[in-house]
Amino acid sequence: MDNLTHSLVGALLGQAGLKRKTGLAMPTLIIAANIPDIDAVAVLLGGSQHLALRRGITHGPIAMVVLPLLLWGIMLWFDRWQTRRGKRPESRLPVDTKWLLALAYIGCLSHPLFDWFNSYGIRLLEPFSSQWFYGDTIFIIDIWLWCALIAGVWLSLRGERRGRQNWRTPALVSMSTIFAYIAANGLITGRAEQLTGNAVQSQFGVVPAMVVANPVPVQFWKREMLWRDATHYGQGSFSVPDAVSLDPKIGKHNMGDAEAVAQMARDKNADAFLFWSRMPVLREQVHGSSNVRVLSDQRFGNPLVQDRFTVAVPAENPEK
């Protein structure tokens, strides 16, 4: 998910009552909810190499143990540093070391949970396994999730400032609504994939090896449907409750061309892309007087983002 969502999740946890457990609770929850994204520095490598590094080691089990400990140590140091300098706010609660550590873990663990909900992918077991996991449940930037999170945090803060005893209630209601929303979207995805698989068999006479219900922006009741078998791929759409529409045009993804794939893998950007890609498509195109092989991913076929998720490599001349 985007970092605004992660930050709001941390803030909502605080407004649900956790902020009263110890001093520095709210900043710890918000920072912890974002800290696994320290792997974002990988974008400095350029090209597509960052795709193979993101959502991996810093989102895996070792990081989930180590990162909260590091943050805990930094927050304890910060509190003591402010105290020595006479800068510690008088209104800050005393720091409870056990609760501060617990909140660092709670905030940090919320990050891979929410990252898993979208179709981009996350390696939850890295470095023990490089398997990608996909929730296919909500879009990577979900405006309805934003609305629920912002409403819960804002209403809770307003109630707290007005001295209301039930100031935690809006945050708790928001939290319950969010998980009900996510669960409902999970059911929509399951229904969409089942019906689309049946429709592909009926319309094209093939049993798809993979069917993915790709969440779309704003319209949570719809899915972009993607499917493929050993040689072909296609797409379509789904809308609640059971409206499936398949594009009659299908194409060859060419991932069975072992020689071409091996050639692509010799390029560091293409190799990283192949490691990350879930539904790769390989095409050969003519650019001027030379041919290039282009890798893309079905999940990111939208023209607005397609250029960010493609790799082009000059085709090798088989006669050389």
pLDDT of 320 higher than 80: no
> How confident is the model at residue 10, as a pLDDT?
98
> How confident is the model at residue 287, as a pLDDT?
67
Strand segments, DSSP code E, in the chain are 210-215, 222-228, 232-239, 243-246, 251-252, 280-287, 290-297, 311-314
Cβ neighbour number for residue 14 with a 10 Å cutoff: 24
> How confident is the model at residue 306, as a pLDDT?
73
What does pLDDT average to over the chain? 93
Q: What is the pLDDT of residues 34-80, one digit of tens each?
A: 999 999 998 887 778 888 889 999 999 999 999 999 999 999 999 99
pLDDT of 318 higher than 60: no
| Half-sphere exposure at residue 38, Cβ-oriented, CA atoms within 13 angstroms | 16
What's the pLDDT band for 317 if we cut at 50, 70, 90? low
The domain segmentation of the chain, as residue ranges, is 3-135, 192-251, 256-314
Q: What is the pLDDT of residues 234-279, one digit of tens each?
A: 999 999 999 999 999 999 999 999 988 898 889 999 999 999 999 9
> How confident is the model at residue 153, as a pLDDT?
98
- Residues across the chain: 320
> How confident is the model at residue 289, as a pLDDT?
66
Q: What is the pLDDT of residues 89-120, one digit of tens each?
A: 999 999 999 999 999 999 999 999 999 999 99
Instruction: Give the C-alpha distances (Å, rounded to integers) separating 214 from 120, 135, 161, 233.
Output: 10, 10, 41, 15
Once rounded to an integer, what is the mean pLDDT over residues 219-239? Answer: 96
Residue pointed to by tokens 């190499």: 49
What's the pLDDT band for 195 if we cut at 50, 70, 90? very high
Tokens found for residue 242: 């059971």
Peptide bond into 241 cis (omega under 30): yes
Residue pointed to by tokens 């072992």: 258
Contact 75, 88 (CB under 8 A): no
Residue pointed to by tokens 């949570």: 220
> How confident is the model at residue 206, as a pLDDT?
92
Contact 60, 131 (CB under 8 A): no
State what percent of residues in the chain have pLDDT above 70.
Answer: 98
> How confident is the model at residue 319, as a pLDDT?
45
**How far is Cα 110 from Cα 87, in angstroms, rounded to an integer?**
31
* Prediction pTM value: 0.91
* DSSP assignment of 75-110: HHHHHHHHHHTT-S-TTSPPP-HHHHHHHHHHHHHH
Once rounded to an integer, what is the mean pLDDT over residues 136-159? Answer: 97
Q: What is the pLDDT of residues 273-311, one digit of tens each?
A: 999 999 999 998 876 667 888 999 999 988 777 778 888
Return the higher-pLDDT residue of 312 and 222: 222
